[in-house]
């Protein structure tokens, strides 16, 4: 049984922890989109690991980790991560497979990202400045450079030269020398070679022999290039379709979809956020939830749970069950609000609008639920949760249109509740 774990909000839902705790039941963990804009934080026995490109499955002995063709790979970031893991005693060895079709992030992609943001001025996206967008632009523009292109050929030299020349015309004062980029690419190719191959074929062979694959999304549904709050999105498909195109696997290979959602909501970067809390409660959520970007350190914007958005993510992805994270961050709040609709002008909207960015002022319609005074932090069984917390979860299930199968009550692996009667329990059996 192969399962996809993906973000049902604006990213940073806590996918890293969920993937990490599910991994022992799988032989492979595969990333299908994004790049080192992602930051998956995992705590193991109090030790913090932040992974950007390599799937968090790498922390588990014997698990094969895949970077699919849908991912954009910055060789420098990749090598840094491999070396840092080695410093922490984790040898990547031969447990990493990078698709030879994955596109590369080159030095000028980072510069173009920064330049494009500066040019947008007040309309800026608030990107991670990692060169993600420009690398995907080159891919779609059919001038990208792939992992399998990194051999000393005339074709690669011609492509690099043309790309660098074009970039030098856009980036004023750029002195980038194409031969330097070319030489660096050849060196990266040489180091990367042992880990590269045909991901689609490898996964097909693994699945045919009964090995289970856990498929890991980055970012979240509302940051998806097609289905998110465009243009305030990332440049890849974080939703379920990306898993097939980004790994070269058929839809039939996927037997379950676990959506990860925080018990409240956060967003980093610009863009619409109807339930954002700019006052004291937002500040409290940020501090208690340690809501600072794992990649960039930027403070995350915080707000109430938006059931309109999660219900939409459930529909687009076919989510079977939700992993609800950071419930403990709500401990001690007197009341907790849930957004069940939007007021836009004189309309009440309960389906996520395509034009959220341009539709005008939005007023969320809230339900207020009583908070709880007994802490949920560290709870490992559903019955341990205070009645008010159980009621809150039951209401989230109703308004989001999906059962909550897993609840995270702290950052460590063991601070987790897996509900006995849930599909998640069945997947992990």
Q: Which is nearer to ligand IMP, 196 or 219 (CB)?
A: 219
Does the protein bind ligand IMP through residue 217 (CB under 6 A)? Answer: no
* Binds ligand IMP by CB under 6 A, chosen from 2, 33, 128, 408: 128
Q: Both tokens of residue 116?
A: 């494009």
**CA dihedral (257, 260, 263, 268) positive or negative:** negative
Does the protein bind ligand IMP through residue 132 (CB under 6 A)? Answer: yes
* 113 among known catalytic residues: no
Contact region with ligand IMP (CB under 6 A), list: 130-138, 144-152, 200-208, 381-389 = 130-138
* Binds ligand IMP by CB under 6 A, chosen from 133, 303, 403, 405: 133
At closest approach, how far in Å is the CB of 217 from ligand IMP?
A: 10
User: Nearest to residue 369, comparing CAs of 348, 386, 388, 342?
Assistant: 388
> CA distances (Å), 328 to each of 64, 153, 370, in order?
32, 55, 15
Q: Which is nearer to ligand IMP, 9 or 400 (CB)?
A: 9
User: Nearest to residue 35, comparing CAs of 124, 146, 133?
Assistant: 133
> CA distances (Å), 358 to each of 174, 232, 268, 344, in order?
36, 12, 19, 11
Size of the site for ligand IMP (CB under 6 A): 20
At closest approach, how far in Å is the CB of 282 from ligand IMP?
A: 17
Does the protein bind ligand IMP through residue 126 (CB under 6 A)? Answer: yes
Distance CA 174, CA 177 (A): 9
* Binds ligand IMP by CB under 6 A, chosen from 127, 188, 196, 237: 127
Contact positions with ligand IMP (CB under 6 A) in 246-275:
268-269
Name every residue whose Cβ is closer than 8 Å to that of residue 241 and which is 6 or more positions away in sequence. none
* Binds ligand IMP by CB under 6 A, chosen from 125, 213, 214, 285: 125
Q: Both tokens of residue 371?
A: 């908070």
Q: Which of 40, 52, 103, 227 is catalytic?
A: 40
In this structure, what is the dihedral angle of CA atoms 137, 64, 239, 133, given to the nearest 10 degrees? -20
Does the protein bind ligand IMP through residue 130 (CB under 6 A)? Answer: yes
Q: Which is nearer to ligand IMP, 167 or 267 (CB)?
A: 267
At closest approach, how far in Å is the CB of 128 from ligand IMP?
A: 3
Q: Which of 12, 20, 74, 328 is catalytic?
A: 12
From residue 6 to residue 45, what is the string marking binding to ligand IMP with x (rule CB under 6 A)?
Answer: -----xx------------------------xxx------
User: Nearest to residue 32, comparing CAs of 203, 158, 161?
Assistant: 203
At closest approach, how far in Å is the CB of 428 from ligand IMP?
A: 25
From residue 175 to residue 194, what is the string marking binding to ligand IMP with x (rule CB under 6 A)?
Answer: --------------------
User: Nearest to residue 277, comparing CAs of 333, 226, 318?
Assistant: 333
* Strand pairing class (404-408; 416-418): antiparallel
| H or E segment to which residue 305 belongs | strand 305-306
Q: Both tokens of residue 200?
A: 């689609």
Distance CA 270, CA 285 (A): 19
* 12 among known catalytic residues: yes
Instruction: Burial-class residue 179 by CB neighbours within 10 Å (0-12, 13-18, 19+).
Output: exposed
Q: Which is nearer to ligand IMP, 234 or 416 (CB)?
A: 234
Strands (E), 345-422: 347-349, 362-370, 404-408, 416-418
Does the protein bind ligand IMP through residue 223 (CB under 6 A)? Answer: yes
Interface ranges with ligand IMP (CB under 6 A) = 11-12, 37-39, 125-128, 130, 132-133, 218-219, 223, 232, 234-235, 268-269
Catalytic amino acids? 12, 40
């Amino acid at each position: 049984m192969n399962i996809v774990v993906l973000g049902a909000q604006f990213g940073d839902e806590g996918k890293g922890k969920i993937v990490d705790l599910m991994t022992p039941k799988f032989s492979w963990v595969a990333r299908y989109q994004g790049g080192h804009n992602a930051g998956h934080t995992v705590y193991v026995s109090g030790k913090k690991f932040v992974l950007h490109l390599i799937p968090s499955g790498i922390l588990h002995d014997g698990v094969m980790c895949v970077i699919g063709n849908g991912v954009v790979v910055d060789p420098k970031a990749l090598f840094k991560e491999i070396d840092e893991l080695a410093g922490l005693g984790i040898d990547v060895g031969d447990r990493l497979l990078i698709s030879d079709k994955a596109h590369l992030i080159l030095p000028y992609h980072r510069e173009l990202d920064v330049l494009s943001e500066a040019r947008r001025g007040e309309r800026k996206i608030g990107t991670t400045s990692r060169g993600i967008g420009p690398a995907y632009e080159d891919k779609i523009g059919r001038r990208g450079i792939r992992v399998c292109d990194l051999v000393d050929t005339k074709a690669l030299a011609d492509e690099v030269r043309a790309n660098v020349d074009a970039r030098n015309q856009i980036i004023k004062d750029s002195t980038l020398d194409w031969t330097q980029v070319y030489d660096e690419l050849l060196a990266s190719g040489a180091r990367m070679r042992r880990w590269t191959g045909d991901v689609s074929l490898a996964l097909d062979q693994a699945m045919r022999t009964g090995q289970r694959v856990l498929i890991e999304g980055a970012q979240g549904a509302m940051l998806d290039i097609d289905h998110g709050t465009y243009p305030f999105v990332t440049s890849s498909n974080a939703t379920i379709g990306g898993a097939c195109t980004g790994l070269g696997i058929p839809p039939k290979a996927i037997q379950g979809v676990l959506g990860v959602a925080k018990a409240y909501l956060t967003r980093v970067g610009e863009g619409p956020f109807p339930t954002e809390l700019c006052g004291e409660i937002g500040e409290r959520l940020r501090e208690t939830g340690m809501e600072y970007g794992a990649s960039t350190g930027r403070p995350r914007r915080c707000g109430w749970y938006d059931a309109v958005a999660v219900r939409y993510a459930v529909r687009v992805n076919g989510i079977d069950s939700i992993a609800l994270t950071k419930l403990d961050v709500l401990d001690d709040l007197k009341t907790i609000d849930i957004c069940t609709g939007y007021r836009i002008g004189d309309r009440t909207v309960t389906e996520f609008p395509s034009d959220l960015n341009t539709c005008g002022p939005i007023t969320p319609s809230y339900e207020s639920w009583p908070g709880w005074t007994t802490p949920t932090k560290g709870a490992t069984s559903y019955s341990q949760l205070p009645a008010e917390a159980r009621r809150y979860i039951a209401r989230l299930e109703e308004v989001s249109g999906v059962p909550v199968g897993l609840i995270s009550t702290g950052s460590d692996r063991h601070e987790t509740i897996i509900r006995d009667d849930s599909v998640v329990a069945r997947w992990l059996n």
